[in-house]
Amino acid sequence: MKKPYSKILEDIFENEVCVAREWGRLSGNLHGKKIFSWRFFSLQWAKYAAVLLFGVILSAGYFSLKEHLFAAELQPFRVVTKKGERCSFELPDGSKVWLNADTELSYTGSYGKANRHLTLSGEGYFQVAKNIRLPFVVRANGIDVTALGTSFNVRAYENESTIETMLYEGRVAVGQEGSDSYVYLAPKEVAVYDTKSGKIDTRLNEDGISSDWRDGHISFKMVRLEDISKMLERKYNVVFLFENREMSDLRFSGSFYNDDSLEDILNVLRINASMQYVMQGDTVKIK
């Protein structure tokens, strides 16, 4: 026969407590109304506490998620091309971008949601998806190029004294960063921003370096040899040194393809201008 619970407790706690008396008091409380009333009261408060705790956890989770999403929207996305590289890709809003060599483009996670702002260092061609609510803004070394839906090219290398915006379709506004004064371009027009004077001039796109670089072409019309050399440096990952500075101001027109070697291009320039050059590793010396 099994021992009653009171006897089992008495055997365990012998010489420590009066088990018979404690068991009797516990049994009486279990059959009384007082403990059941207290239990009901405790359960009610437990429900309220659980609801309150759930609300606190939910609120904390909401604010934590909100902070996480806000930080993610500020996190920049960067696309970088090295010398000799080009790339093309599509932005979250459907706009298409081509980046020339030695170029960096960045934007945040809020792009396409709260804004369509990009930061460019180098050269890029943009085909902008139309969105009247969110203007498309390219910030490039001190100027802002703003569009709604258009195609244009921005050339803004840090080692060049001018920034060129060439419009092909639609309409863009070009102005200094933070300024309320803009120059509006029509198709086939170019805005040239002088980084030293801060002045913006416009002209027809009759000369200069075209956007054929997207297809691997090199095309220019009446461009200074020094500017051509910078373009060749980025494409072929070389360095030009002008031992004869007079040669740097000579102007050339030409068109070359992606499979043309640097030596092929230099030989054409040499023949047309009686220019002498020497290649030493990755350095081209113009004499």
Q: For residue 138, give the H/E element and its range.
A: strand 136-140
Q: Provide the H-helix boundaries in the chain.
A: 5-12, 19-30, 33-74, 225-236, 262-273
Indicate the CATH number for domain 75-206: 2.60.120.1440
What CA–CA distance (Å, rounded) separates 201 from 203?
A: 7
Residue 279 C-beta-side C-alpha neighbours within 13 Å: 12
Q: Among residues 181, 164, 166, which one has the least CA distance to residue 126?
A: 166
Q: Among residues 253, 283, 245, 284, which one has the least CA distance to residue 269?
A: 253
Contacts of 32 (CB under 8 A, 6+ apart): none
List the domain boundaries for the chain.
5-72, 75-206, 210-286
Q: Given CATH 3.40.50.1970, say whether it is the number of domain 210-286.
A: no
Determine phi and psi for 258, rounding to 5 degrees: -60, -30
pTM of the model: 0.68
What CA–CA distance (Å, rounded) separates 81 from 126?
A: 16
- pLDDT tens for the 287 residues of the chain, in order: 444 434 433 443 444 445 455 445 545 554 544 444 445 445 565 555 555 665 556 555 555 554 544 445 567 899 999 998 999 999 999 999 999 999 999 999 999 999 999 999 999 999 999 998 999 999 998 899 999 789 999 999 988 889 999 999 999 999 988 788 889 999 989 999 999 898 999 988 765 556 678 877 787 878 888 888 988 998 899 999 998 888 888 888 888 887 788 998 898 888 877 788 999 889 999 98
DSSP string, 83-106: TT--EEEE-TTS-EEEE-SSEEEE
Q: What is the pLDDT of residue 117?
A: 96
